[in-house]
Structure 1
Amino acid sequence: MDSNPAAHVRPPAHRVIRSRLKFETWQAMRMLSQSGPQRWVESMLLLALITGQRRSDLAKMKFDDIVTAEDGHQYLRVEQAKKAGKPIGARIEIPLALRLEAIGLTLADVVEHCRSSARPGPTLLRKIGGGPIEESSLSVRFHETIVAVEGESAYGRYQWPSLHEVRSLSARLYKAEGKDPQRLLGHMHHEMTDLYLNDRGLSAGEWQRVAASAQVPAEI
Structure 2
Amino acid sequence: MHWTQIEAQYVSREFLNASRAANAYPELNGRQLPSFHEIRALSIHLHKKAGKSAQTLAGYATEKMTEIYASSHELIWNDADVGIDLPFNTA
Q: CA deviation at 1:185?
A: 1.2
Which residues in structure 2 correspond to 1:18-167 (within 5 Å)?
136-142=13-19, 145-146=24-25, 148-150=26-28, 152=29, 155=32, 160-167=33-40
**In the comparison of the two structures, how many residue pairs are matched?**
68
Q: CA, structure 1 residues 181+153, in 2 after alignment: closer, same or farther (shift >3 Å)?
A: closer
Q: CA, structure 1 residues 172+189, in 2 after alignment: closer, same or farther (shift >3 Å)?
A: same
Instruction: Tell me the TM-score normalised to structure 1 length.
Output: 0.25
In 2, Cα distance between the equivalents of 1:153 and 1:139?
Answer: 10
Q: CA deviation at 1:199?
A: 2.1
In 1, Cα distance between the equivalents of 2:31 and 2:16?
Answer: 18
Give yes or no for contact 1:168–1:196 (8 Å, CA) kept in 2.
yes
Give yes or no for contact 1:142–1:162 (8 Å, CA) kept in 2.
no
Give yes or no for contact 1:181–1:193 (8 Å, CA) kept in 2.
yes
Higher relative contact order (CA 8 A, sep 6+): 1
Give yes or no for contact 1:142–1:163 (8 Å, CA) kept in 2.
no
Task: Decide which structure has greater helix share.
Answer: 2
3-state SS of 2:36 partner: coil
The percentage of counterpart residues that share the same residue type is 25
Unmatched 5+ stretches in structure 1: 1-80, 83-134, 207-220
Unmatched 5+ stretches in structure 2: 6-10, 79-91
Q: CA, structure 1 residues 172+140, in 2 after alignment: closer, same or farther (shift >3 Å)?
A: same
Give yes or no for contact 1:174–1:181 (8 Å, CA) kept in 2.
yes
Task: Decide which structure has greater strand share.
Answer: 1
In 2, Cα distance between the equivalents of 1:187 and 1:172?
Answer: 14
Give yes or no for contact 2:55–2:63 (8 Å, CA) kept in 1.
yes
3-state SS of 1:179 partner: coil
